[in-house]
Amino acid sequence: MKTMCSVFPHYARYNALSNTALLAALEPLGMEFLRADRGIAFRSIWGQLNHLVLTDTVWLSRFAGAPRYFDNLGQELHTEWESYHAERLRLDEEFRSFADALTDERLTGPLRFYSAVLKKDVEMPFLKGVLCVFDHQTHHRAQITTALRQAGITPPAIGMFFTPFPES
């Protein structure tokens, strides 16, 4: 019998595959292209990528019960491609391990943390927090693919429809 938590390993794998495909398409474009102002949230594709690493780090730390905080949501954590790429791969693997270990009991419990954005303590269903992470990733990857299209570049097909889905 499938349980509520059984979907999240699929989401984590989709997320990792999408990030890998997107990064493979972005790397050859170079840092000048990635840092160019595209009129999107966090100004550039590079800003978007750094924002995702920052917020993924924040959410994973909340899930672990040891929240981390940063100066702002647009803080540049990585200035070079190599360090960014290594951290993205590490985070994707951490999400996969996290998702594999989820239980229905944990998903139905509370998630409590201090939100630096809202400047207050927050309590929400743990499930909502997990859904927020995957939704947030998809949202910003969509902004990046839109910026690529606006620059005349065809982005990789990274929608869930195009991603292999294990039968397990």
| CATH number of domain containing 53 | 1.20.120.450
CB contact at 8 A, 46 and 19: no
Assess if residue 82 is contained within a domain.
yes
Nearest-angstrom CA–CA distance, 13 and 72:
28
Q: With bands split at pLDDT 50, 70 and 90, how would you rate the model's confidence at 165?
A: low
Beta strands in 9-168 (DSSP E): 110-115, 120-125
Identify the domain containing residue 109 by its residue range: 11-162
- Check pLDDT > 70 for residue 1: no
Assess if residue 135 is contained within a domain.
yes
Assess if residue 73 is contained within a domain.
yes
CB contact at 8 A, 123 and 110: yes
What total number of domains does the chain contain? 1
Question: Residue length, the chain?
Answer: 168
Ranking 2-11, 41-50, 148-157 by mean pLDDT, the lowest is 2-11
Dump pLDDT digits (tens) for 63-92.
Answer: 999 888 888 899 999 999 999 999 999 999
Q: Token pair 């100004």 is at which residue?
A: 43
Task: Give the global pTM.
Answer: 0.91
The DSSP bridge partners found for residue 115 are 120
> At 16, which amino acid appears?
A
